[in-house]
Structure 1
Amino acid sequence: MPVAIITGASKGLGRALAEALAARGWDLVLDARTPGPLEEAAVALEAYGTRVRALPGDVTDAGHRAALVAQ
């Protein structure tokens, strides 16, 4: 399966992109700053039957970017 890392995945364009890719069978690594909405998005996207990992944080942080890639 292809894997996408999507920032801003809890709402707006990031969420729409995540839904479109999940519908096509992509596995997802999701990022957003606010944990609650990000987790809600992850649960909704798992309904597509794809693997979804959600890591709240700030992509300006090098450690967070490394964690996203490691997933």
Structure 2
Amino acid sequence: MGKSKTKATWAEAKKRCRLSQQDIQMAKELGMTPKSLIKNIPAPKEQWKAPVKVWVRDLYEDKFGKVLK
């Protein structure tokens, strides 16, 4: 996969999941792909499911004990 295509997929994930640059960095450190982030966007009927931004931060905090600021 080319560098520009990778950047485009991360940009799409950032836009669709409403993530900041720190959230993207945390997701990359957790080994996530843009496709996995997009797949985990909760549907309207899944009100029990946390937004992707919260989900990434919780996973990062569980693994590393802190959240990037």
* TM-score interval, smaller chain: under 0.3
Q: Which has the larger helix fraction?
A: 2
Who wins on radius of gyration, i.e. which is larger? 2
Q: Which has the larger strand fraction?
A: 1
In the superposition, the TM-score normalised over structure 1's length comes to 0.25
